[in-house]
Amino acid sequence: MFSVTVRDHFMIAHSLRGETFGPAQRLHGATYIVDATFWREELDEDGIVVDIGRAAEALRAVLAELNLRNLDDEPALKGINTSTEALARVIADRLAERTHAGALGDTAELDRLTVTLRESHVAWASYERAL
């Protein structure tokens, strides 16, 4: 299995619902480093998994929809407790939509996508889905 990973970052404000989150129930900020990894069983005819430039551009576009926003005010996220894990899924699903729409070129042979959000150098969460 081959993979290509592209990286970017975004900054948000949000609050989390539930006693589990203690002080994070109050509005606070976070800066995430995001890795999007595309997986493929065999390389394409050009010898690549996916065009790195196009993958980076698609990730940048997805993150631009969230960057410098208060996620508590985002209609598309209404009802979602925007934990790191939940945000990884949101980003993966939006990136998959762009992939299926052709933003990365011919991606028929891509198997899956993993999105990892790094909260810090010691904590991160990932979501993996089929493409």
The domain 2-130 is classified under which CATH number: 3.90.550.10, 3.30.479.10, 3.40.50.720, 3.30.200.20?
3.30.479.10
pLDDT at 55: 97
Q: How many CA atoms within 13 Å lie on the side-chain side of 110?
A: 26
Q: Is the pLDDT of residue 18 over 90?
A: yes
| DSSP 8-state symbol, 34 | E
pLDDT at 67: 98
Q: What is the mean pLDDT of the chain?
A: 96
Q: Is the pLDDT of residue 108 over 90?
A: no
- What would the pLDDT profile of 24-73 be if each residue is shown by its tens digit? 999 999 999 999 999 999 999 999 999 999 999 999 999 999 999 999 99
Domain coordinates in residue numbering, the chain = 2-130
Kindly state the average pLDDT of the residues 67-85.
96
C-alpha closest to that of 70 among 27, 107, 101, 111: 27
Largest CA distance in the chain: 52
pTM for the full predicted model: 0.95
